[in-house]
Amino acid sequence: MAGSRHQARELALQVLFQIDGDAAADADEQLSYLAQEAGVSERAREFASGLIRGVVAHREELDQVILEASQNWRLEQMGRVDRAVLRLATFEIRHGQGVPVKAAINESIELAKTFSGHESGRFVNGVLGRIAALTTP
Protein backbone atom coordinates (compact mmCIF):
# COMPACT_ATOMS: atom_id res chain seq x y z
CA MET A 1 0.00 0.00 0.00
CA ALA A 2 3.01 2.32 0.41
CA GLY A 3 3.19 3.01 -3.31
CA SER A 4 -0.52 3.66 -3.58
CA ARG A 5 -0.43 5.89 -0.50
CA HIS A 6 2.31 7.98 -2.09
CA GLN A 7 0.23 8.17 -5.24
CA ALA A 8 -2.79 9.13 -3.14
CA ARG A 9 -0.85 11.92 -1.43
CA GLU A 10 0.27 13.26 -4.80
CA LEU A 11 -3.33 13.22 -5.94
CA ALA A 12 -4.53 14.92 -2.74
CA LEU A 13 -1.81 17.56 -3.09
CA GLN A 14 -2.86 18.32 -6.65
CA VAL A 15 -6.51 18.71 -5.64
CA LEU A 16 -5.67 20.85 -2.61
CA PHE A 17 -3.44 23.04 -4.78
CA GLN A 18 -6.25 23.47 -7.29
CA ILE A 19 -8.97 24.35 -4.79
CA ASP A 20 -6.62 26.74 -2.94
CA GLY A 21 -6.18 28.75 -6.13
CA ASP A 22 -9.76 28.56 -7.36
CA ALA A 23 -12.56 29.00 -4.83
CA ALA A 24 -15.09 27.76 -7.39
CA ALA A 25 -13.22 24.48 -7.97
CA ASP A 26 -15.03 21.38 -6.75
CA ALA A 27 -12.73 19.00 -4.87
CA ASP A 28 -14.70 15.88 -5.81
CA GLU A 29 -14.72 16.78 -9.50
CA GLN A 30 -11.00 17.55 -9.43
CA LEU A 31 -10.28 14.28 -7.64
CA SER A 32 -12.33 12.23 -10.10
CA TYR A 33 -10.66 13.85 -13.09
CA LEU A 34 -7.10 13.58 -11.77
CA ALA A 35 -7.58 10.01 -10.49
CA GLN A 36 -8.85 8.91 -13.87
CA GLU A 37 -6.01 10.69 -15.70
CA ALA A 38 -3.38 9.11 -13.43
CA GLY A 39 -5.04 5.69 -13.47
CA VAL A 40 -4.84 5.31 -9.70
CA SER A 41 -6.47 2.41 -7.89
CA GLU A 42 -9.79 2.82 -6.12
CA ARG A 43 -7.98 2.28 -2.83
CA ALA A 44 -5.58 5.16 -3.53
CA ARG A 45 -8.48 7.34 -4.66
CA GLU A 46 -10.35 6.65 -1.41
CA PHE A 47 -7.27 7.44 0.68
CA ALA A 48 -6.77 10.69 -1.24
CA SER A 49 -10.43 11.58 -0.76
CA GLY A 50 -10.14 11.10 3.01
CA LEU A 51 -7.07 13.33 3.11
CA ILE A 52 -8.75 16.05 1.05
CA ARG A 53 -11.93 15.99 3.10
CA GLY A 54 -9.91 16.09 6.33
CA VAL A 55 -7.83 19.05 5.22
CA VAL A 56 -10.90 20.95 4.04
CA ALA A 57 -12.81 20.20 7.26
CA HIS A 58 -9.91 21.20 9.53
CA ARG A 59 -8.40 23.98 7.43
CA GLU A 60 -8.70 26.77 10.02
CA GLU A 61 -7.09 24.63 12.72
CA LEU A 62 -4.36 23.43 10.34
CA ASP A 63 -3.59 26.97 9.20
CA GLN A 64 -3.28 28.14 12.81
CA VAL A 65 -0.88 25.31 13.66
CA ILE A 66 1.19 26.06 10.55
CA LEU A 67 1.31 29.77 11.41
CA GLU A 68 2.52 29.02 14.92
CA ALA A 69 5.26 26.73 13.63
CA SER A 70 6.37 28.64 10.55
CA GLN A 71 8.16 31.45 12.39
CA ASN A 72 7.93 34.72 10.49
CA TRP A 73 6.02 33.32 7.49
CA ARG A 74 2.40 34.19 6.87
CA LEU A 75 0.38 31.71 4.85
CA GLU A 76 0.00 34.24 2.04
CA GLN A 77 3.80 34.46 1.75
CA MET A 78 4.18 30.73 1.22
CA GLY A 79 3.99 29.22 -2.22
CA ARG A 80 0.72 27.45 -2.96
CA VAL A 81 2.45 24.09 -3.25
CA ASP A 82 4.22 24.53 0.10
CA ARG A 83 0.96 25.60 1.74
CA ALA A 84 -0.88 22.58 0.35
CA VAL A 85 1.92 20.19 1.40
CA LEU A 86 1.98 21.67 4.91
CA ARG A 87 -1.80 21.42 5.29
CA LEU A 88 -1.78 17.82 4.11
CA ALA A 89 1.05 16.75 6.41
CA THR A 90 -0.28 18.70 9.38
CA PHE A 91 -3.62 16.96 8.97
CA GLU A 92 -1.88 13.57 8.98
CA ILE A 93 0.27 14.48 11.98
CA ARG A 94 -2.60 15.94 14.03
CA HIS A 95 -5.38 13.56 13.05
CA GLY A 96 -3.54 10.29 12.70
CA GLN A 97 -4.91 8.34 9.78
CA GLY A 98 -2.73 5.48 11.04
CA VAL A 99 0.39 7.10 9.58
CA PRO A 100 3.55 7.44 11.67
CA VAL A 101 4.60 11.08 12.08
CA LYS A 102 8.03 10.42 10.56
CA ALA A 103 6.43 8.85 7.47
CA ALA A 104 4.07 11.81 7.03
CA ILE A 105 6.99 14.23 7.27
CA ASN A 106 9.23 12.26 4.89
CA GLU A 107 6.45 11.92 2.32
CA SER A 108 5.74 15.64 2.54
CA ILE A 109 9.38 16.57 2.05
CA GLU A 110 9.46 14.42 -1.09
CA LEU A 111 6.25 16.01 -2.38
CA ALA A 112 7.64 19.48 -1.76
CA LYS A 113 10.89 18.65 -3.56
CA THR A 114 9.04 17.08 -6.49
CA PHE A 115 6.39 19.75 -6.98
CA SER A 116 8.11 22.87 -5.66
CA GLY A 117 11.89 22.43 -5.39
CA HIS A 118 14.75 21.43 -3.12
CA GLU A 119 14.56 24.57 -0.95
CA SER A 120 10.87 23.91 -0.38
CA GLY A 121 11.76 20.49 0.97
CA ARG A 122 13.99 22.10 3.58
CA PHE A 123 11.33 24.68 4.47
CA VAL A 124 8.62 22.03 4.81
CA ASN A 125 10.93 19.84 6.90
CA GLY A 126 11.61 22.69 9.33
CA VAL A 127 7.97 23.65 9.77
CA LEU A 128 6.78 20.05 10.11
CA GLY A 129 9.54 19.26 12.60
CA ARG A 130 8.23 22.06 14.82
CA ILE A 131 4.64 20.90 14.35
CA ALA A 132 5.58 17.33 15.27
CA ALA A 133 7.42 18.54 18.38
CA LEU A 134 4.37 20.53 19.45
CA THR A 135 1.95 17.70 18.67
CA THR A 136 3.59 14.56 19.99
CA PRO A 137 3.72 14.05 23.75
Q: What is the CATH number of the domain that holds 6?
A: 1.10.940.10
- Identify whether the C-beta of residue 48 lies closer than 8 Å to the C-beta of residue 65: no
What's the rounded mean pLDDT across residues 71-85? 92
Which pLDDT tens digit goes with each residue over 58-71? 999 999 999 999 98
Question: pTM here?
Answer: 0.92
The answer to whether residues 15 and 48 touch, using CB atoms and an 8 Å cutoff, is: yes
Q: Which domain holds residue 20?
A: 2-135
What's the domain count of the chain?
1
For 7, half-sphere exposure in the C-beta direction (CA atoms, 13 angstrom radius) is: 17
Which residue blocks in the chain are alpha helix, DSSP H?
2-21, 27-38, 42-57, 59-69, 80-95, 101-115, 118-135
Neighbours of 96 (CB within 10 A): 12
Confidence of residue 1 (pLDDT cuts 50, 70, 90): very low
